[in-house]
């Protein structure tokens, strides 16, 4: 079984923030794979279902912590303990300011790089979970980062945001069987994005 978790803040006022692209990816996965209805559990909104793979169905729990971004680790830890899983069974979808908008990278382990949601997960379950890093660009100066991630995507960005989230859902069988590098490649094939400087700002549709 896998836990597919997204980073984000609860509530409609945050729903379209850059910080919530992890939630948007989880929503796309739920639609694509017809997961069950959402229910409140583990201090989170969760849904259960399975992902069809060539090796057979893989059970998964979708999880959107309702603890606010910086305390997300608590919800993930509760679910992991209940299902007796390891950090390798956890995939976290999250925004990444040090990658150009629309870029995507998989990574296992490592530091938090200033991301308080990652820091929270590391504090609760250790660093060795799998990270699905979704580029949202950098505002250009560290003093502007908080405003950047807590602001909504511009209308011109909606094309690549939707394409990236849908690609994360469409390529999911590769992730489900542990083929993280192939998953990364397939997501980028389905939703290609330029290797731009993340500090150049939002990328429009092209």
Which residue out of 16, 19, 141, 154 is catalytically annotated?
19
pLDDT at residue 181 is higher than 50: yes
In three-state secondary structure terms, 196 is coil
Residues 46-60 have a mean pLDDT of 96
In three-state secondary structure terms, 127 is coil
Contact 79, 124 (CB under 8 A): no
Q: What is the pLDDT of residues 120-165, one digit of tens each?
A: 999 999 999 999 999 988 887 788 888 888 888 999 999 999 999 9
Residue 200 pLDDT level (bands cut at 50, 70, 90): low
Q: Which CATH number, 3.40.50.1470, 3.30.1330.10, 1.10.3720.10, 3.30.1370.60, labels domain 2-200? A: 3.40.50.1470
CB atoms near residue 66 (< 10 Å): 18
Rounded to two decimals, what is the model's pTM? 0.92
Distance CA 201, CA 138 (A): 6
- Side by side, the strands of the sheet bearing 130-135 are 39-41, 44-51, 58-65, 2-6, 90-96, 130-135, 104-108
User: Is 19 annotated as catalytic?
Assistant: yes
């Amino acid at each position: 079984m896998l836990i597919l978790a997204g980073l984000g803040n609860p509530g409609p006022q945050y729903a379209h923030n850059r910080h919530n692209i992890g939630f948007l990816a989880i929503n796309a996965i739920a639609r694509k794979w017809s997961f069950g209805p959402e229910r409140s559990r583990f201090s989170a909104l969760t849904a259960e279902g399975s992902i069809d793979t060539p090796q057979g169905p893989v059970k998964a729990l979708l999880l959107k912590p309702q603890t606010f971004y910086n305390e997300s680790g608590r919800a993930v830890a509760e679910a992991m303990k209940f299902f007796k899983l390891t950090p390798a069974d956890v995939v976290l979808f999250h925004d990444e300011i040090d990658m150009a908008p629309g870029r995507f990278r998989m990574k296992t382990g490592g530091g938090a790089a200033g991301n308080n949601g990652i820091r929270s997960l590391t504090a609760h379950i250790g660093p060795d979970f799998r990270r699905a890093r979704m580029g949202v660009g950098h505002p250009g100066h560290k003093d502007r980062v908080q405003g950047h991630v807590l602001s909504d995507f511009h209308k011109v960005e909606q094309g690549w945001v939707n394409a990236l989230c849908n690609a994360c859902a469409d390529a999911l069988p590769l992730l489900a069987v542990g083929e993280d590098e192939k998953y990364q490649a397939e997501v980028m094939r389905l939703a290609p994005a330029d290797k731009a400087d993340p500090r150049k700002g939002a990328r429009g549709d092209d």
